[in-house]
Amino acid sequence: MLKRRLHPLYRAVLAGLSLCLFSLGAQAALPEAVAQPLKAAGIPAAHVALWVAPASGGAPSLQHNVDAAFNPASVMKLLTSSAALEVLGPSFSWSTEAFVQGELRDGVLNGRLILRGGGDPALSWERFDAFLRELRGRGLREIRGDVLIDRSLFAPASREDFDDQPDRAYNAMPDALLVNFKALSLRLIPTAPKQLISASSMLPFAPLQIDNTLLATPGACNDWRAGIRSEFSSQGEQLRLKLSGSMPASCGERVLNLAMHDGLRMTASVFRALWAELGGSLTGSVREAGPAEAVPPEQPPFASWRSPSLGEVLRDMNKYSNNVMARHLFLSLGRNDSRQPLTTQLGEQRLRDWLASRQLNLPGLVLENGSGLSRRERISAAGLGNLLQSMWLSPYMPELLASLPIAGEDGTARRRFGKQPVSGFARLKTGSLNDVMSTAGYVLDSKGQWQAVVLMINDARAEQAEAATIAAINYVFQPAASSAR
């Protein structure tokens, strides 16, 4: 049940807003400053949706194709973020807990240690290390038994074949005990062309063998990841990683993040490495906790670790468009007192209940995982614009705004808007998939007024729409100057 009440003024404005937005005509000509680069890229206007309106409310000043349902890519994270802020609250945090079963005396546990995941989306290896230090600080030194990993909070989900690059970090699946985003981080250091590139793990990980034939090549550093091929395999407890292909030497030192889809192996390997570094010992195995090995409800934890607040998590998630973090938020919306395993269906129902309570009408909305890493998800530009205006009136607007990349300055909006007039004057969530390019957020225009803007492009040539995207955001920032060009 939603427990947060709306301020009466907020409720009244939202009710009028929905009626206003969806009563207006949805099709109008695109500004010439935007139409020209679209035409040059060979993208029809019918494959573009553009919506602009004052952030604080009122009728759109520009709307083109705004009622059609588009694939938004990562811009869908705006909806997940907004729902999480208002349903869970910006101070919400996740807990990872440790339980001891057996006798603990003089630092020696004759029994087993259970680590229970609470869905923390930000449990980096540094934070996991701090959690294990807490166990050592409480007197645990030697574990003469097994370590059980309880990941039962999230219902099992089949691995998705989203694209032909399964080892890319953005393809990591949710895990109730998610360590380091299920990403194995490698430091790549090229020397000269035609020479072997040094590859080493940045993550305490035991045992890991890297078979590396990655070569440095001449040429400019463009999409440096495209030439790298990776393949995981395992032999017992040992993980092997085969690296092959090439990377331009001009790229210099880079960090390559690869998705580890075996969450149990990931957690077990990092635990073993960190526990040994901390002077701890383990005589048993690290394995999955079975249904009959659940911790009794009345047993207090030996130690617990709290994640950063939701407000802090949103900044990491949105600035760098972290998909697995967004999926954790979406699942967390379905939390309940019964510890019923969380599913995307529960998260979606909670989100739709929130939309109804806020009187937000988003026709054509299709949800799958809340991250935008989906071929199915859809939303209209008018619906997303409606959301942006309503969140501007929300008491949690500052947290949402602070989480968005600053145009030309940080996150995913740094490179694209780095040398543009709008640089520093917009907070924008960007998104891209094959055949999709999108941007949405808030622009402080040249008159000092905040504007809400939504731009979505669904076309086979979408990757060539960067010039049109820049033109559209600059148009919102300086409409008169853009029209004069």
Distance separating alpha carbons of residues 51 and 41, to the nearest angstrom? 21
For residues 55 and 13, what is the distance between their CA atoms, to the nearest angstrom? 12
CB-based burial, 314-350: b 16+ in 10 Å, e otherwise: bbbbbbebbbbbbbbbbbbbbbeeeeebbebebbbeb
Residues 101 and 38 in one domain: no
> Is 431:73 a contact under the CB 8 Å cutoff?
yes
Same domain, 246 and 324: no
Q: What is the DSSP string of 239-296?
A: EEEEEEEEEEGGG-SEEEEEE---HHHHHHHHHHHHHHHTT-EE-S-EEEPPGGGPPP
Contacts (Cβ under 8 Å, ≥6 apart) of 339 = 153
Cα–Cα distance between 81 and 100 in angstroms, integer? 36
pLDDT of res. 208? 87
CB 261 within 8 A of CB 166: yes
Same domain, 73 and 115: no
Query: Measured in whole angstroms, how far is the alpha carbon of residue 191 from the centre of its chain?
Result: 33
Residue 2 included in any domain = no
What is the CATH classification number for the domain harbouring 450?
3.40.710.10
Specify the CATH number for the domain of residue 197: 3.50.80.20
Co-location of 38 and 169 in the same domain: no
Q: Looking at the structure, do residues 159 and 279 belong to the same domain, yes or no?
A: yes
- Neighbouring residues of 167: CB distance < 8 A, sequence distance ≥ 6: 230, 231, 232, 258, 259
Strand partners, 458: 436
Q: Give the whole-angstrom CA distance, residue 411 versus residue 404.
A: 8
Residues 61 and 175 in one domain: no
pLDDT at 27: 62
- According to the model, what pLDDT value does residue 443 have? 98
Q: Does residue 109 lie in a domain region?
A: yes
The verdict on residue 358 lying in a domain is yes
The range of the structural domain enclosing residue 318 comes to 8-91+311-484
- Structural domains in the chain (count): 2
What is the Cα–Cα distance from 151 to 176, expressed in whole angstroms?
A: 5
Answer yes or no: do 465 and 376 share one domain. Answer: yes
Distance CA 2, CA 110 (A): 45
Rounded Cα gap, residues 413 and 417, in angstroms: 6
- What's 456's DSSP letter? E
- Full pLDDT tens readout for the chain, 485 residues: 343 444 444 444 444 444 344 434 456 789 999 999 999 999 999 999 999 999 999 999 999 999 999 999 999 999 999 999 999 999 999 999 999 999 999 999 999 999 999 999 999 999 999 999 999 999 999 999 999 999 999 998 877 766 777 788 888 999 999 999 999 999 999 989 999 999 999 988 878 899 999 999 999 998 899 999 999 888 777 889 999 999 999 999 999 999 988 899 999 999 999 999 999 999 999 999 998 898 988 999 999 999 999 999 999 999 999 999 999 999 999 998 777 899 999 999 999 999 999 999 898 999 999 999 999 999 999 999 999 999 999 999 999 999 999 999 999 999 989 889 999 999 999 999 999 999 999 999 999 999 999 999 999 999 999 999 999 999 999 986 655 55
Same domain, 67 and 140: no
Indicate if 443 and 461 belong to the same structural domain.
yes
The H-or-E segment that residue 319 falls in is helix 310-319
Contact indicator for 369, 157 with CB cutoff of 8 Å: no
The Cβ-side half-sphere exposure at 376, using a 13 Å CA radius, reads 7
Residues 6+ apart with CB under 8 A from 158: none
Residues 337 and 417 in one domain: yes
CA distance 387 to 177: 32
Domain-ending residue, one of 288, 307, 326: 307
Amino acid sitting at position 368: E
pLDDT for 16 equals: 44
Q: What is the CA radius of gyration of the chain?
A: 24
Measured over all CA atoms, what is the biggest interatomic distance in the chain, rounded to whole angstroms?
A: 79
| pLDDT at res. 19 | 39
CB-based burial of residue 34 (10 Å sphere; 0-12 exposed, 13-18 middle, 19+ buried)? buried
